[in-house]
Amino acid sequence: MQHWLLKSEPDAFSIDDLKAKKISMWDGVRNYQARNFMKDKMQVGDLAFFYHSNAKPAPHIAGIIKINSKTYPDPTQFDPKSKYFDEKSTEANPRWWLIDVKFIEKFKEPIYLSELKSNKKLKDMMLLQKGSRLSIQPVSLEEWNVILDKLPNVKNLT
DNA sequence: GCCAACGTTGGC
DNA sequence: GCCAACGTTGGC
């Protein structure tokens, strides 16, 4: 199993929104590297951190979600009314793909970016690299466990 | 709101 | 294929 970190701005789609829906499409990814992670590397059942970027009072990991489907074409690319519409994409040859995610857990206390930065064991984490802004990132098992070790209350996720 | 870093576009 | 210009991301 691989682990991931998925970013979303909470004003657009938050972990509370996902909690209410239980399962949701992770739509709107318009970056090829992020898309390729979904298409080529993600497996149904993989776990991911739900990261709130551009969040107030500060960016943070808000909880845990699960990859709940294989990739399929992102329907928003075909919708002229969507802000994610892509006129160069066709149904026969879609450009953009997505997976469904399922709500697993919202942390009682968010894990702030500043906490991650101050942990030496996480210095190689992709999220913390200068200029890194990929919205879908792999997280190593070591990093995953270091972060979860801070959370004695998280239930067994497997 | 600022701005650094990155990604994309399109002229040549 | 280069690269300038533009657009986006996202922390601060």
Range of the domain at A100: 3-157
Nearest nucleotide (C1') to alpha carbon of A130:
B5
Lowest mean pLDDT among A87-96, A116-125, A135-144: A87-96
Say which CATH number the domain at A136 has: 3.10.590.10
Question: Measuring from the CA of residue A133 to each C1', which nucleotide is nearest?
Answer: C9
- Across chain A, what does the average pLDDT equal? 93
What pLDDT, on the 0 to 100 scale, is given for residue A149? Answer: 86
Whether A47 contacts A65, CB under 8 Å? yes
pLDDT digits (tens, 9 = 90+) for A68-119: 999 999 999 999 888 899 988 888 889 999 999 999 999 999 999 999 999 9
Q: Protein A133 CA to nucleic acid B4 C1', in Å? A: 12
CA of A27 to C1' of B10 (A): 28
The integer distance in angstroms from the CA atom of A146 to the C1' atom of C4 is 43
Lowest mean pLDDT among A1-5, A85-89, A122-126: A85-89
Q: Which of residues 70-99 of A touch strand C (CB under 7 A)?
A: none
* Average pLDDT over every residue of A20-31: 96
State the Cα–Cα distance between residues A22 and A79, nearest whole angstrom: 24
Alpha carbon distance A102, A22 (integer Å):
6
- CA A39 to the chain's CA centroid: 14
**Quick check: A154 pLDDT over 80?**
no
Q: What is the total count of domains within chain A?
A: 1
Does at least one atom of strand C sit less than 7 Å from the CB of A62?
Answer: no
Q: What is the pLDDT of residue A60?
A: 97
* A128 CB neighbours strand C below 7 A: no
pLDDT of A158 above 60 = no
